[in-house]
Structure 1
């Protein structure tokens, strides 16, 4: 699947910015955490660290897997980066599932983040299975879906900033964003990677 240069650049820049933002959490400085979740994060530093480290790696290297020129010129490097990406998804997904039961926003938000964690692990696992079976096109489809879920880290923060700018109730916004940050991403990815009769 090919994307435009502008789309790839936007995806890469926004992903990198979120990685840099998330790096601040790695120091476990209470002042960095948003106030509503501060106590929970401080009480669960280990799963938070697991989630941040894995997700940051996946988000940092993921966009480079979609650079067609790099993929075609250096296929071995593409495979190695792919392994790093999938390991990041695995670690980040496990951390997400550990954090989901204590997420801010109540049961609805917690279910949303838990479903995201499961979907993230499943799409990455199927993507790996497809490439091991040499089903290249199916592998690409599932990896696009996987990164759409990884990119939820970006859409979540964009939506929260928009909600705050609109002066919406934070708890309500957070609960809604727990679903909206990833479900539309996945639906769009599935639509773009759907099987087309007579072509790729």
Structure 2
């Protein structure tokens, strides 16, 4: 019994550390994009004509990024279900706003880079919206095991842009080529690889 409690405690601590790390990365990513809110032509660049779209995209994404980790905190879910639900609705609202804006951006400004970049964004947005929708419907139907699985997939998609954009800022990555040349590959990497690793983890746990 003590050993089981110890494992649960270690699992919770590991989860908290991972959640804090994700939040730090998210705040870093949001911080480097705050310049858009100055709304000057220099800061907005190619987004000048769609400034409200990009600002809503960032704001909605910020809500989803920050509320997401709390959805996986079992202690919060068990002790305060009402707060868990409210944060869940806030997460869904953030995804809805940000993904809706992302559809517009991927169909307009993304093509200024190239079609491969625009296509990679279209696929990512589709995965993001669909996984979030399935997670929400599962919660409404009280299929909570299924809900948790799809919430993981949804949040992996939420983090994809952060992961890709952060990697693309690394000097060693930038040496590989221009943004137009390597950007699409890294945006595929941002969600496809983590999603695959999640499925491998699920399969491994199912075998135990």
TM-score range for the pair, normalised by the shorter chain length: 0.7 to 0.9
Aligned equivalent of 1:182, options 191, 194, 206? 191
Greater relative contact order (CA < 8 Å, ≥ 6 in sequence): 1
Q: What is the TM-score of this pair, normalised by structure 1?
A: 0.85
Distance 1:24 1:110 in 2: 23
Per-residue CA deviation, residues 64-90 of structure 1 (Å, 9 max, x unaligned), is 222222222211101000000011001
Q: What is the deviation of 1:118?
A: 1.1
Cross-structure match for 2:181:
172
Alignment length, in residue pairs?
Answer: 194
Q: What is the deviation of 1:153?
A: 2.6
Could you say which structure has the higher helix fraction? 2
Q: Is the 8 A contact 1:127 1:142 kept in 2?
A: yes
Cross-structure match for 1:64:
70
Q: What is the deviation of 1:141?
A: 0.4
Cross-structure match for 2:8:
none
Distance 1:131 1:5 in 2: 23
Q: Is the 8 A contact 1:18 1:153 kept in 2?
A: no
Q: CA RMSD in A?
A: 2.4
Q: Is the 8 A contact 1:89 1:121 kept in 2?
A: yes
Distance 2:40 2:203 in 1: 43
* Gap change, CA 1:109 and 1:73, over 3 Å in 2: same
Q: What is the TM-score of this pair, normalised by structure 2?
A: 0.82
Q: Is the 8 A contact 1:141 1:193 kept in 2?
A: no
* Gap change, CA 1:194 and 1:125, over 3 Å in 2: farther
- 1:5-154 paired onto structure 2 within 5 Å: 5-32=16-43, 38-39=45-46, 41-101=47-107, 102-103=109-110, 104-154=112-162
Q: Is the 8 A contact 2:131 2:151 kept in 1?
A: yes
Distance 1:94 1:163 in 2: 32
For structure 1, the residue ranges without an aligned partner over 5 or more in a row are: none
Q: Is the 8 A contact 2:128 2:154 kept in 1?
A: yes
Q: Is the 8 A contact 1:163 1:173 kept in 2?
A: no
* Gap change, CA 1:75 and 1:52, over 3 Å in 2: same
For structure 2, the residue ranges without an aligned partner over 5 or more in a row are: 1-10
* Gap change, CA 1:165 and 1:145, over 3 Å in 2: closer
